[in-house]
């Protein structure tokens, strides 16, 4: 069993699975559909160019669901771990639902963006989603009148915070991946980078993961059950 102490430099990568117990659906386990939509239609720049109204409808619904959702015991366990490890703790998420922050985690690296922000497709002005008028089919920028888009990294776009993440992966002792299927790159490749630079790797997931060759210790089950037990043992 991998153990941690206060000196362990821990990097965590979470995916949609950690939010499943908060009632937000993952997409790999629903046949490649995300909330009944084809990913190509709602999570690519091409899909947005083709039908921006459909994409906006999709993200407005995701935003409202995220606002209503409550963090679960998996999110809460990571808050305890952050308090225990302090600056040795780094939390990266592929999720856009804001639940880690709602649970009390700080400095979360939201590599795929967040439902809580939007930006202008022309002048790039940033907005909190809460402050824009979501009633029109296509919300517009109050500065230049152009169409806004969700602050979400779609397939084919470059994730946020990659240089900082690369530095963390090269200098950690343990990388834990939680609730992520290991199919979406570059996040799926983080275990390879961490291992290459000498870290141990651990996965907590309901099903086997696609990048299992690079995982030293696998805990199969629900994040909401497993994480509180691990954290109780460690902290
Ligand atoms: P994924 O849907 O590809 O994989 C989720 C994994 O979580 C699966 O392997 C599944 O077995 C596992 N899982 C399901 N319930 C679990 C639980 N209770 N405990 C532990 N594991 C559980 O998700 P991904 O790898 O994060 O990739 C999905 C992409 O879609 C991401 O880029 C993300 O931005 C986006 N997405 C985000 C959300 C969200 O913000 N909540 C939801 C769906 C998709
Ligand atoms: Zn603008």
29 lines ligand 1 (CB under 6 A): yes
Range of the domain at 35: 27-68+114-152
Q: Which residues fall within 8 angstroms of residue 52, CB to CB, at 6 or more apart?
A: 138, 147, 149
Are 124 and 227 within one domain?
Answer: no
* Dihedral sign from CA coordinates of 103, 106, 109, 110: positive
In this structure, the residue with its CA closest to atom 40 of ligand 1 is: 95
- Residue 53's domain is classified under what CATH number? 3.30.1600.10
pLDDT digits (tens, 9 = 90+) for 47-92: 999 999 999 999 999 999 999 999 999 999 999 999 999 999 999 9
Q: What is the pLDDT of residue 25?
A: 86
Active site residue ranges: 112
150 lines ligand 1 (CB under 6 A): no
Q: What is the pLDDT of residue 31?
A: 60
115, 97 contact by CB (below 8 A)? yes
pLDDT digits (tens, 9 = 90+) for 217-232: 999 999 999 999 999 9
Are 206 and 97 within one domain?
Answer: yes
* Dihedral sign from CA coordinates of 161, 21, 131, 54: positive
Q: What is the pLDDT of residue 125?
A: 98
Ligand 2 mean position to 66 CA, how many Å? Answer: 26
What's the pTM value of the predicted model, to 2 decimals? 0.96
Are 189 and 224 within one domain?
Answer: yes
pLDDT digits (tens, 9 = 90+) for 114-167: 999 999 999 999 999 999 999 999 999 999 999 999 999 999 999 999 999 999
34 lines ligand 1 (CB under 6 A): yes
Are 103 and 219 within one domain?
Answer: yes
């Amino acid at each position: 069993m991998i153990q941690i102490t206060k000196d362990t430099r821990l990097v965590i990568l979470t995916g949609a699975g950690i939010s499943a117990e908060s009632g937000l659906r993952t997409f790999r386990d629903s046949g490649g559909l995300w909330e009944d939509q084809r990913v190509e239609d709602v999570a690519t720049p091409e899909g947005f160019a083709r039908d921006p109204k459909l994409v906006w409808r999709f993200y407005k619904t995701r935003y409202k669901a995220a606002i209503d959702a409550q963090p679960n015991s998996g999110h809460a366990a990571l808050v305890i771990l952050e308090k225990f490890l302090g600056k040795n703790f780094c939390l990266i998420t592929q999720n856009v639902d804001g639940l880690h922050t709602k649970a009390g985690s700080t400095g979360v690296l939201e590599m795929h963006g967040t439902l809580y922000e939007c930006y202008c497709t022309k002048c790039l002005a940033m907005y909190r989603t809460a402050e824009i008028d979501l009633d029109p089919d296509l919300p517009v920028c109050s500065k230049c009148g152009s169409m806004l888009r969700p602050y979400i990294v779609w397939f084919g776009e470059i994730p946020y915070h990659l240089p900082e993440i690369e530095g963390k992966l090269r200098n950690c002792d343990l990388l834990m991946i939680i609730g992520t299927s290991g199919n979406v790159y570059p996040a799926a490749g983080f275990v390879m980078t961490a291992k290459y630079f000498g870290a141990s790797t651990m996965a907590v997931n309901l099903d086997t993961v696609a990048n299992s060759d690079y995982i030293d210790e696998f805990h199969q089950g629900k994040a909401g059950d497993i994480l509180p037990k691990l954290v109780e043992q460690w902290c």
